[in-house]
Amino acid sequence: MNKIIDIRSDTVTQPTPEMRRVMAEAPVGDDVYGDDPTVNRLEALAAERSGKEAALFVPSGTMGNQLAIMTHTKRGDDVICGRNAHVFVHEVGAAAVLSGVILDPVDSPDDIIYPELLERAIREDDIHCPPTTLLCIENALATGKVVPLDVMEKVYETAKARGLSVHMDGARLFNAAEALGVDPAAITKYTDTVMFCLSKGLCAPVGSMLAGSREFIERARKNRKILGGGMRQCGILAAAGILALTEMPACLRTDHENAAWLRRRLAKIPGVHVKEDGIQINMVFFTLDHPKELVEALPEKLLERGIKINGISAGELRFVTNHDVTREDLAFVADCMEEILAEG
Ligand SMILES: Cc1ncc(COP(=O)(O)O)c(C=O)c1O
């Protein structure tokens, strides 16, 4: 069978052959007893990479974010996040269901929560208001943008001055670090806790990390058990996670360069409007001038040529470059797009 070129997301990446090998050979134990040597290695490594005292292996990014919210807050607290933040839009209302908190979304033209927006969003100390106790930020943003370090610093200072904890959804922390040309720890320095995914551009089959102070992570470990996230011989998965943190970050530059190349290439196709405003990671967003029927038929027409894309969402199409897609694959995608759009 010909290769399928899957540019729906970076979550579709396959574990590398080396990952499969180390998974087969990983020494394991019962992690709920703290006995899994491979998980213990991964957690120590993740803490070091994110500049935090401790880290916890969790099955998914969603669980990592929700554990952070659960551990930082008490029922009835007010939590500030971006209007388009994953915790608000894509986690099935879990913060309300699991932690009983109110998510208070902030509107921002570029999705970045600036200090003045944060100040305005914090609830007053008033008998009618829930206490605002947590800020959830994202970096990189789901829009493909990266929050600059000086903004991170100022927002963190503002949050701290107002007594808030700061959690960062860093599902693509390593993409943000690559784009900014810094260590991940230079970003997470401006957060109390961070979740980052091993399973997206870094190619591990499963898993994310939640990192923070030792005391916080111990409480989160207990909360993970409440959520049924205490896993047993999951060193099999952690083994791939270790490679995700040691070998794979260096590959993200190629994903970013490929996305930049694809943006330039697609922009040459008549009627394709590629978004260029500050997108720095492995994503390509664009709109099309073409008739609605053609735009809606695009996923099917591309699939006939072996290319998987997601359908239009909020008027935009999104292609995501990843480890399993080469520059040649992307050239083929662009050629197919040109051909299909020209046929009309
Ligand atoms: C920004 C962001 N945060 C969190 C998640 C959740 O990760 P998971 O799918 O592992 O639950 C995702 C998933 O795509 C994401 O894009």
Residue 116: give its domain's CATH number: 3.40.640.10
Does residue 47 share a domain with residue 132?
yes
- Written as six digits, the tokens of 115 are 């200090």
Counting ligand 1 atoms within 8 A of each CB, the residue from 66, 136, 169 with the most, and so the one to mutate, is 169
Q: How far is CA 309 from CA 10, 272, 313, 331, in A?
A: 12, 16, 12, 15
Does residue 299 share a domain with residue 203?
no
Does residue 236 share a domain with residue 282?
no
1 pLDDT band, cuts 50/70/90, is low
DSSP symbol at 32: G
Give the residues surrounding ligand 1 with Cβ less than 6 Å away.
Answer: 11, 60-62, 86, 138, 142, 169, 171, 197, 199, 208
**Per-residue confidence (pLDDT) for residue 230, from 0 to 100:** 97
Does residue 243 share a domain with residue 139?
yes
Does residue 273 share a domain with residue 218?
no
Count of the separate structural domains present in the chain? 2
Nearest in space to 317 (alpha carbons), one of 304, 307, 326: 307
Question: Which structural domain range is residue 208 located in?
Answer: 17-247
pLDDT in tens, 19-35: 999 999 999 999 999 99
**The last residue of a domain, from among 226, 247, 268:** 247
* C-alpha span between 55 and 163 (Å, rounded): 23
Q: Which atom from ligand 1 is nearest to the alpha carbon of 85?
A: 1
∠ CA(82), CA(83), CA(84), 5° rounding?
90
DSSP symbol at 9: -
Residue 253 has pLDDT above 70, yes or no: yes
Does residue 84 share a domain with residue 207?
yes
**The last residue of a domain, from among 215, 247, 279:** 247
Classify each residue of 78-88 as buried b or exposed e, where b means 16 or more C-beta atoms within 10 Å of its C-beta: bbbbbebbbbb
**Per-residue confidence (pLDDT) for residue 278, from 0 to 100:** 87
∠ CA(72), CA(206), CA(190), 5° rounding?
35
CA of 123 to the centre of ligand 1 (A): 28
Does residue 167 share a domain with residue 262?
no
Burial classification of residue 109, based on how many CB atoms lie within 10 Å of its CB (0-12 exposed, 13-18 middle, 19 or more buried): exposed
Does residue 180 share a domain with residue 220?
yes
pTM over 0.85: yes
CATH of the domain at 299: 3.90.1150.10
Does residue 227 share a domain with residue 256?
no
pLDDT in tens, 142-198: 999 999 999 999 999 999 999 999 999 999 999 999 999 999 999 999 999 999 999
**The last residue of a domain, from among 218, 247, 276:** 247
